[in-house]
Homo-oligomer: A and B are copies of this chain.
Amino acid sequence: MRILVINPNTTPSMTAKIGLSAQAVASDTTEITTLSPDKGPASIEGFYDEAYCVPGVLEIIRKGEIMGYDGYVIACFDDPGVDAAREIATKPAIGICQAAMYAASMVSTSFSVVTTLPRSIPIIERLAQHYGMTHFCRRVRAAALPVLSLEDPHSNAIEQIKAEIYQALEQDRAESIILGCAGMSDLAQWLSCETGVPVIDGVGAAVKMVEALIGLGLKTSKVGAYGFPLPKPYQGDFAPNQWES
C-alpha cells in the first residue's frame, strides 16, 4: 500500500525527519511518500499559521487522490485540515494528534502531552475534547520551545522535553507520554527507553493507524459531513481549487 505523509509546514529538514520516522515504523509492504506544501509557514505555532498551511495540504491531498494513494497522514500535532482532507479523500486521512491519543489510551489509563509552546496548549486541549480524550489526558505541557529549535542540533530541546516528561510522570501521574509535535518524532523511541514508559510519537502512530484502516478496507464515509465538496465557483487565487463533480 502507498501512504502519503504530509508535513504541513515548509521546512525541508522537518519533512525529511518526518519521512524517516514514518519509514521507521511502516510495514514492509507499505510505500511512504513524504511531501510538504510549496506555500505556507515554515512552522505551525498557532491558529494563524494553521490557516495558511491548510490550502497547501489540501492541494497535496488532491494530487494524492489522482495518483491513487491508499491513505494520508497529516503530520502536525494541531491536525490542520484533517476534516477538509476527509471531504476530498476517498481513502482514510488522519492527523497525528488523534492517532497518538488513541494509541496512548490503548496502552495506559492516562497520558500527558509534551508540546513545544504554551500557546499550543489550548489548541491541543480542544482537540482532546473533540476526540473524546479529555478524561484520558492528564495535562498538556509545553517545554517552551519554538518548533524550529527542534531542528537545531545546538539547542537544549531534548533536555527540556525530558524534564517535562519526568514532571508529567511525577506530578500528573501520567502513565504514558505523547510527544506533541511532529518535530519530536525522532525522539520517541529513545525517550521510551530512558523513561521506561510508553512515549508516543504521532507520526508513527498515524502511519500505523492508516495502515490499519487501509488493511480493513475502510474508506472515509461519503454520507454526511465528509461527503465530497459540493461543486461551486471559487474566485481569484483559489479558483484552481474549485471542486467539480
Which residues on A are within 8 Å of B, measured CB to CB?
10, 25, 27-29, 37-43, 45-52, 54-56, 58, 81, 83-84, 86-88, 92, 94, 98, 102-103, 105-110, 117-123, 125-126, 129-136, 146, 148, 169, 173, 175-176, 189, 192, 196-198, 200, 204-205, 208-209, 211-213, 215-227, 229-230, 232-239, 241-243
The interface residues of chain B lying within 8 Å CB-to-CB of A87 are: 46-48
Q: Which of these, B56, B81, B133, B235, contacts A40 with CB under 8 Å?
A: B235
- Complex contact B43–A243 (CB within 8 A): no
The interface residues of chain B lying within 8 Å CB-to-CB of A222 are: 196-197
6 more A-B contacts (CB under 8 A) besides A41-B242, A46-B84, A103-B218?
A: A45-B230, A56-B236, A92-B107, A109-B224, A208-B212, A208-B213
7 A-B residue pairs with CB within 8 Å: A39-B237, A41-B235, A46-B225, A49-B229, A103-B212, A103-B216, A196-B222
Q: How far is the CA of A42 from the CA of B98 in the complex (A)?
A: 31
Q: How far is the CA of A48 from the CA of B228 in the complex (A)?
A: 9
- Complex contact A27–B215 (CB within 8 A): yes
- Complex contact B38–A209 (CB within 8 A): no
The interface residues of chain B lying within 8 Å CB-to-CB of A51 are: 54-55, 58, 81, 84
The interface residues of chain B lying within 8 Å CB-to-CB of A43 are: 232
Q: How far is the CA of A192 from the CA of B220 in the complex (A)?
A: 12
- Complex contact A46–B234 (CB within 8 A): no
Q: Which of these, B106, B173, B189, B212, contacts A217 with CB under 8 Å?
A: B189
Q: Which of these, B42, B216, B230, contacts A233 with CB under 8 Å?
A: B42
